[in-house]
Structure 1
Amino acid sequence: MHILVGLLIMVLGNYFKVIQPNYFIGIRTPWTLENKEVWKATHTFAGKLWFFGGFFIVLGGILFSGFIFAKAFVGIGITLALVPVVYSFFKFKQLEKKKEIIILNYLKHLKNDKNNTYYNYSFNFIYNEWARNRRTMEWTFESARNAINSCV
């Protein structure tokens, strides 16, 4: 029985790489559902983890039996469930930080552009709007540029 479960987990792990973002199948955390890049990275990572986890379940089912393998089976199952969720959170935070750095650098570039008085005039307004809304992840490089252009 454990061998069949391990094989099923291996097949699912191999399938994780091709799952597109959806609300029905896959690792559906708030972070993976909000960002396509986080979804893809999480499912690529989880696919490898599930494949090897399934392999170890099959191997353990062949080599061990009884109570010893039951503990390992539960441990592997908890690992397969929790590690991808934690990974998706950290990947999301990493990308959020990267976007903030890109936007800040863009805004600093605009502020330092001495030839463009309209941008210099609107810099403080745009920066304050971005700082207030950055936690909602609604601000990207394009939205910052569009907001600045709308002030011109």
Structure 2
Amino acid sequence: MELRGIKFTTIGLSLLVFAISLTQNALVVNYNNEIKTASSLEYLFIGSVTFMGGGLLEEIIWLASPLCLLAIVLMIKDDKRAVLVSLIASALAISFSFWHEILGAESGTMAKIVSFELGYYLWLSSILILTIGILIHYKMTLKTTLQA
């Protein structure tokens, strides 16, 4: 497959999986002994303002999505920084799977994570697809450059 095809297949597949993830639940949490299910779309919208409620770490994890958008823009421009940006996004998204609690309310009360749902795994997959595609693209770019 040519470089351009890899680039746009990677971006298209990553965005498709991300869009599907938004239709799914992301987490099940236990907040004050009440089980609540949170949708991926809810986290996408609320995530950008979590720092105002004291959720600095949650805000950092949320940055994985905007970093992916930046990586896509950089990849389109053939900027090698896309590799680093996508690796950072992947690390953030993966690190979230090790969390046991998440901010449950602006009061600082924590909610226990009961389970990660399909939305989280699809979101993570979309980021990993992007990262792997960027790595393949730049490996092939480097190979083409060295052959020329």
| TM-score, structure 2 normalization | 0.36
Greater strand share, structure number: 2
RCO (CA 8 Å, sep 6+): is it higher in 1 or 2? Answer: 2
Greater helix share, structure number: 1
Q: Which has the larger radius of gyration?
A: 1
